[in-house]
Amino acid sequence: MSDHTLTTRKISALLKRGESETVEFKKTFDRETIETLVAFANTRGGIIFIGVSDIGEVIGAEVGRETIQNWINQVKLCTANTLLPEVELVRVKKKDVAVLSIAEYPIKPVACRGRYFKRVKNANHQMTVSDVVNEHLKTFNTSWDYYVDDFHTEADISLEKVQAFIERVNRTREIPIQDDPLTLLRKFELLRDGRITRAAFFLFMAEDSSLSTIELGRFQTPTLIKDGARLKTDLFAEVDGVMAFIKKHISKAYIITGKPEREERWEYPLEAVREIVINAIVHRDYASSSDSIVKIFDDRIEVFNPGGLQPGLTVEKLLAGDYLSRIRNRRIADMFKEAGLVEKYGTGIRRILQGFEAYDLRVPRFEEISGGFRVTAYNKIASETLVEKTTQVTTQVTTQVTTQVDDTTIRLLHACMEPSTLTDLMHQMDFRSRKHFRSAILGSVIQRGLIEPTIPDKPHSRFQKYQLTAKGKSVLGKITHGGSSSQKDD
């Protein structure tokens, strides 16, 4: 249970206090145990002690090598959304007691075998249809960071940091904030009924916490690290910390423009890189036990953070701008917007792409991997290497493949009758590997002079499309009007 481990003293106090809205005693693990976990998840979270009688007497639990894993598997199979309780085995009065903990679930309601439960005082109650509907409606208007933090108090945040936030906002705000730190926290719903929210803790934590860890590394090879650092502070400070580490390990040139002052040009477009970092911090899944990771190599920067794309959103839709902004941490995002770090929801990806396009660099790679999301930004070395490799591959393909117009080429020519993006072409032709399609299919046909990019001087532009050349139109015309797929393209 990491930072939230129960002490012997706290366990004794809970057992003495008896069952409540957040505490349940069970002699053994059974069906009702899972129902209680669901009820806790739908209410305020809670703890189940297994090996304890209804009156709080410790009788002990028989826990074998695979017992705990079997319990977890049963919970997973019986719940939707799937619950994963934390399980800890403790010794109380020289007997084993299993402690199952579950936090309040952000997306409600959770079901157990198709039935919904909530916790009322010290008992589970099946939810009515009205209860279920209301919980769904509340879910649509909230997010994980909106909930009260059960493990931290007002003493765990820094009012000095809140004051610094106010001063930062007032530098650009037309109507300055006149409130004191506590009043501001209440107005932004970061402090409710005297309790801080999760967002408040992560934004203004007084001391370092492993819950916000970001690992930073400068790599000489994929396995050899030259320099490293670890950030475990508040989210605003982490943006500055990550950017400072990146600037430390990338190069900067000075360009003579004829002006009195030299112009700085970094190896990467810093504003675009900063946007990548901010997106990672704002959209991270802070309920995950994984850390965010930033890796700097000779030719690229990789930024990984736990938490994949929201349901229904794909990388293709993200790059095409074909989506409605859905924010994992709405309160954190709101505060970043107030601070001027986020301009407008849903525009960050566009600014990233525009930044790299202005630098004439390869478009960053966005991908979902290992339960998280990774963005890879490439510098000039990687961009030039890609062009060189693409040229080599297309030359080899052109040499090895005859000039015969095969079925794949015909389909591509038809798809390019109107200028189309790479993503559109892949979708029309049912290709999934962007790398293979670009080099082996698209590159080959471009090399043969049948199609051409609409922006040839900026091959990596996000506005790039592909269209038929005069030669391509001629070949397609011959095929369409009586030719065969064995038509030569000269």
Helix axes 270-283, 348-358, angle to 10 degrees: 160
**pLDDT of amino acid 2:** 39
pLDDT band at 43 (very low <50, low <70, confident <90, very high): very high
- Per-residue pLDDT at 251 exceeds 60: yes
Considering only residues 143 and 284, tell me which one the structure prediction assigns the higher pLDDT: 284
- Per-residue pLDDT at 397 exceeds 50: no
Q: What is the pLDDT of residues 100-135, one digit of tens each?
A: 999 999 888 999 999 999 999 899 999 988 688 778
Domains of the chain: which residue ranges? 2-141, 154-207, 211-324+339-378, 382-480
- Per-residue pLDDT at 456 exceeds 90: no
Query: Which helix (H) or strand (E) element contains residue 25?
Result: strand 23-26
Distance CA 394, CA 409 (A): 14
CATH superfamily name and code, 2-141 = Schlafen, AAA domain (3.30.950.30)
Structure tokens given for 31:
């069906």
Considering only residues 358 and 5, tell me which one the structure prediction assigns the higher pLDDT: 358
Q: What is the DSSP letter of 90?
A: E
Q: Which strand ranges, in their side-by-side order, compose the sheet holding 23-26?
A: 23-26, 46-50, 95-102, 86-92
Q: What value does the CA radius of gyration of the chain take, rounded to a whole number of Å?
A: 29
Residue of 24, 34, 10, 19 whose CA lies nearest to 151: 10
- Per-residue pLDDT at 1 exceeds 50: no
Distance CA 272, CA 230 (A): 22
Of the listed ranges 316-330, 410-424, 467-481, the one predicted with least confidence: 316-330
Mean local confidence (pLDDT), 432-437: 74
**pLDDT of amino acid 4:** 47
- Per-residue pLDDT at 321 exceeds 80: no
Mean local confidence (pLDDT), 173-189: 94
CA 338, 285, 329: angle at the middle one, nearest 5? 30
Q: What are the residues facing 464 on neighbouring strands? A: none
- Return all residues near 91 (Cβ < 8 A) that are at least 6 apart: 97
Three-state SS for 111?
strand
Model pTM score: 0.56
8 A C-beta contact, residue 382 and residue 390: no
CATH architecture of 382-480: Orthogonal Bundle (1.10)
**pLDDT of amino acid 384:** 61
Q: What are the residues facing 488 on neighbouring strands? A: 404
Distance CA 135, CA 105 (A): 11
Of the listed ranges 211-215, 380-384, 436-440, the one predicted with least confidence: 380-384
Distance CA 238, CA 280 (A): 11
Considering only residues 99 and 253, tell me which one the structure prediction assigns the higher pLDDT: 99
Structure tokens given for 12:
């004794």
- Per-residue pLDDT at 477 exceeds 90: no
* Percent of the chain's residues with pLDDT above 70: 88
Q: What are the residues facing 304 on neighbouring strands? A: 293, 374
- Per-residue pLDDT at 84 exceeds 60: yes
CATH code: domain 211-324+339-378 is 3.30.565.60
Distance CA 386, CA 281 (A): 29
Considering only residues 466 and 430, tell me which one the structure prediction assigns the higher pLDDT: 466
**pLDDT of amino acid 396:** 47
Considering only residues 217 and 347, tell me which one the structure prediction assigns the higher pLDDT: 217
* Percent of the chain's residues with pLDDT above 90: 58
Cis preceding-peptide flag for 122 (omega within 30 of 0): no
**pLDDT of amino acid 107:** 85
Question: 39 — phi, psi (to 5°)?
Answer: -60, -45
Q: What is the pLDDT of residues 225-241, one digit of tens each?
A: 999 999 999 999 999 99
Q: What is the pLDDT of residues 151-179, one digit of tens each?
A: 999 999 999 999 999 999 999 888 899 99
Strands 46-50, 23-26: pairing kind? parallel
Question: 48 — phi, psi (to 5°)?
Answer: -115, 125
- Per-residue pLDDT at 85 exceeds 90: yes
**Terminal Cα-to-Cα distance of the chain (whole angstroms):** 70
Question: 227 — phi, psi (to 5°)?
Answer: -155, 145
- Give the mean pLDDT of the chain: 87
